[in-house]
């Protein structure tokens, strides 16, 4: 099995040549890395639509990309101000778009717990609007980003993303045999992304902190870099036939080991688990194991029989095998664990935080 440090998730490769691609939440951590990756490919997309609701972030992103890429490549970008809550605006943005990557979401667990109506409007109704707009606009493929918190959710954010996952899978029944196809990508914590504990700890240390806060010394989490996340989405776009939930094979790490790796010898304070948090995260439950297959670098939760005439022949050619009965992919029972050296490598490869 390939080491997670070498796992690039780029087989088979998605070719965006002559396609128009849109990313919602395009000014977020994933969206920025996704856009840079596509513009750097040998055959970049014909048009790349960045859809988000923050004009300041769009302006900053545009200036960064103009200085980083040629005028020809920068000229392929389109910046759309809009909100996934607005289905009419989504339809306008999706005109002449073949591929949509849906990354927009309200993601901070305490914020979602305190503002439940706003979380539902963005994460659940937003997913519904993506489906409606893409069906009306002739989009060919939609991949939605999910989270490990969507499996057996204990907080509103996870529950809203589980609902969004269900909406995306079921959308394949609305599009007919020759309409759009919808799939989901589910992964864990992203090193270097906005809100990640790694830059939080680094900022605290640079400000002179003498200890680091740990919610529970038993806590574990899955970890992936932004670059790996982008590559995983691109390869899943190529593999998808509609209805799959793609889950990457990524390492786990105890939060105490993470704190020690970032600041060796610095003590930590146990502050207790916050409302809506789990000790360990799960990406595939025992119930989902019955329809889950394994590939060298990922798992695929296959859609139910209700999704058109879906079959796994395209995955079998890549070496797919069913997982064992009762299989559960959780951060505490993972077979891959991240060492301090491995974390340093991932942080280095993650680049600057945003």
CB 237 within 8 A of CB 145: no
Of residues 295, 300, 298, 303, the one with CA closest to residue 319: 295
**Measuring CA to CA, how many Å separate 201 from each of 35, 195, 279?**
27, 11, 19
Name the residue with tokens 């200036």: 63
Pairing mode, strands 292-295 and 329-330:
unpaired
In DSSP terms, which residues pair with 253 in a beta bridge?
Answer: 221
**Measuring CA to CA, how many Å separate 336 from each of 256, 296, 323?**
17, 13, 17
- Under DSSP, the state recorded for 151 is S
**Tokens representing residue 351 in the block:** 């680049």
| Helix 226-239 × helix 340-350 angle, to 10° | 80
CA–CA separation, 256 vs 17, rounded Å? 44
Active site residue: 149, 161, 254, 278, which one? 149
Of residues 340, 349, 345, the one with CA closest to residue 258: 340
- Residue 254 falls in the annotated catalytic set: no
- Under DSSP, the state recorded for 45 is B
Q: Residue 96 contacts by C-beta under 8 Å, 6 or more apart in sequence?
A: 20, 47
Residue 81 region by backbone torsions, left for phi larger than 0, else alpha for psi between -120 and 50, else beta: beta
Buried b (16+ CB within 10 A) or exposed e, 90-121: bbebbeebbbbbbbbbbbebeebeeeeeebbb
CB 103 within 8 A of CB 30: yes
Q: Which residues are catalytic?
A: 149
């Amino acid at each position: 099995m390939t080491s997670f440090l070498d796992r690039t998730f780029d087989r088979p490769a998605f070719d965006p040549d002559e396609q128009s691609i849109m990313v919602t939440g395009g000014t977020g951590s994933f969206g920025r890395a996704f856009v840079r990756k596509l513009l750097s490919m040998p055959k970049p997309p014909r048009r790349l639509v960045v859809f988000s609701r923050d004009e300041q972030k769009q302006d900053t992103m545009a200036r960064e990309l103009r200085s980083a890429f040629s005028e020809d490549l920068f000229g392929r970008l389109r910046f759309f101000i809009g909100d996934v809550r607005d289905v009419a605006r989504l339809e306008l943005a999706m005109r002449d778009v073949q591929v949509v990557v849906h990354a927009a979401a309200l993601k901070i667990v305490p914020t979602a717990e305190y503002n439940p109506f706003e979380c539902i409007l963005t994460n659940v109704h937003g997913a519904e609007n993506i489906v409606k707009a893409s069906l009306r606009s002739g989009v060919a493929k939609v991949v939605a980003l999910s989270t490990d918190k969507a499996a057996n959710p204990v907080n509103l954010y996870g529950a809203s993303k589980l609902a969004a996952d269900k909406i995306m899978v079921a959308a394949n029944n609305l599009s007919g045999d020759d309409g759009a196809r919808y799939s989901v990508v589910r992964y864990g914590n992203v090193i270097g992304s906005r809100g990640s504990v790694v830059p939080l700890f680094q900022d605290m240390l640079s400000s002179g902190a003498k200890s680091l806060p740990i919610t529970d010394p038993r806590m574990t989490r899955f970890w992936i870099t932004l670059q790996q996340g982008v590559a995983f989405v691109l390869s899943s776009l190529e593999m998808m036939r509609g209805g799959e939930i793609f889950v990457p094979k990524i390492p786990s790490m105890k939060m105490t080991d993470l704190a020690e790796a970032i600041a060796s010898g610095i003590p930590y304070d146990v502050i207790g688990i916050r409302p809506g948090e789990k000790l360990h995260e799960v990406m595939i439950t025992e119930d989902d194991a019955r329809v889950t297959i394994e590939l060298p670098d990922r798992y695929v939760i296959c859609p139910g029989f209700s999704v058109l005439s879906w079959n796994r022949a395209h995955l079998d050619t890549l070496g797919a095998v069913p997982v064992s009965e009762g299989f559960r992919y959780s951060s505490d029972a993972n077979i891959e664990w991240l060492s301090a050296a491995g974390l340093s490598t991932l942080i280095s490869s993650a680049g600057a935080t945003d």
